[in-house]
């Protein structure tokens, strides 16, 4: 079955209760998505771990793509040097580097 093909079945809460957790899990393990409805409105889904991970990966990919698109649409080409940003935030590069070194040394002890 292709990765994007997940057969789907809709059950009421009552029917899902009758099917039992073991039955719903068995269906999910076979690759079937179960949509549970209350009063005709979808309220939950039972999916396999593989499908859940696929959804999670797609969600992350979509977030990354939207960030790239937003950056592309709003990029003016103006860049700020790191030292200018550090100064604008009221810090000094040497102080930050010394603090980092102290933190790293403390974590090695």
Round the average pLDDT of the chain to a whole number and report it: 92
pLDDT at 4 over 60: no
Indicate the domain borders of the chain: 8-74, 79-109
Return the DSSP state at 77: S
The model's confidence at residue 1, banded by pLDDT at 50, 70 and 90, is very low
pLDDT at 108 over 90: no
CB contact set of 47 (below 8 Å; sequence gap of 6+): 6, 28, 33, 34, 55
Fold classified for 8-74: YefM-like fold (3.40.1620)
Tokens standing for residue 89: 């935030």
Classify strands 33-38 and 41-46 as parallel, antiparallel or unpaired.
antiparallel
- Over residues 31-35, the mean pLDDT reads 95
Q: Is the pLDDT of residue 80 over 50?
A: yes
Cβ pair 41, 17 in contact under 8 A: no
Contact 18, 43 (CB under 8 A): no
Q: Give the DSSP H or E segment for 55.
A: helix 49-74
pLDDT at 100: 93
Cα–Cα distance, 42 to 11 (Å, whole number): 9
pLDDT of residue 2: 52
């Amino acid at each position: 079955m292709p990765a994007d093909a997940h057969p789907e079945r809709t059950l009421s809460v009552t029917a899902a209760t009758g099917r039992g957790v073991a039955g719903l899990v068995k269906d999910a393990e076979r690759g079937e998505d179960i949509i549970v409805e209350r009063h005709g409105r979808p309220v939950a889904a039972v999916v396999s771990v593989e499908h859940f991970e696929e959804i999670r990966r797609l969600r992350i990919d979509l977030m990354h793509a939207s960030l790239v698109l937003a950056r592309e649409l709003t990029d003016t080409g103006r860049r700020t040097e790191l030292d200018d940003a550090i100064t604008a935030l009221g810090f000094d590069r040497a102080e930050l580097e010394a603090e980092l070194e102290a933190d790293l040394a403390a974590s090695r002890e």
